[in-house]
Amino acid sequence: MTPEQRIERARKHSLRSIQRLADLHNDIFMLRGTESLVWPDICPVLGIPISSLPKGKRGMQNDSASLEKVLVEGGYTPLNTRVISGKAKRIRRGRSLSELDIALKKARENAAEWAERAENLRLVIEWLQHEILNP
């Protein structure tokens, strides 16, 4: 089997899995073939590479291609489904965009606070070194 055939086979498997999930949850599924979606090489959420070839490992890996609905309320349609990395899918799972936005803002605030603390600590260390070396 050529690499291209393995990629196509993995993509079809992803679509079949999502179709079973949609059927189970009585959700709309309107994806017809792998060409109905854009399969990027880079995750549009995290900017990390997405592996096209399956690795033979079970379960979703960080660089696995994963399908997600853009709007949770919508179905699996070409306009409401995108391919992201497995890592992005795990981070987002169960969280709304507004919840993720709040978490991101908090993380940025914390990062700024810790950077300020690190700078203050650096200044204290410099002052102590100066005092110890130049009594």
What pLDDT was estimated at residue 98?
73
What pLDDT was estimated at residue 59?
66
Residues 68 and 11: their CA atoms lie apart, in Å, by 14
Task: Please list the pLDDT of the chain residue by residue as tens digits (135 residues).
Answer: 888 888 888 889 889 999 999 999 999 999 988 888 889 999 888 888 998 776 666 667 888 889 988 887 888 998 889 998 888 888 877 677 777 777 778 778 878 877 887 888 888 888 888 888 886
* Nearest alpha-carbon partner for 67 in 104, 39, 33, 47: 39
* Nearest alpha-carbon partner for 10 in 42, 53, 44: 53
Q: Quick check: pTM over 0.75?
A: no
What pLDDT was estimated at residue 20?
94
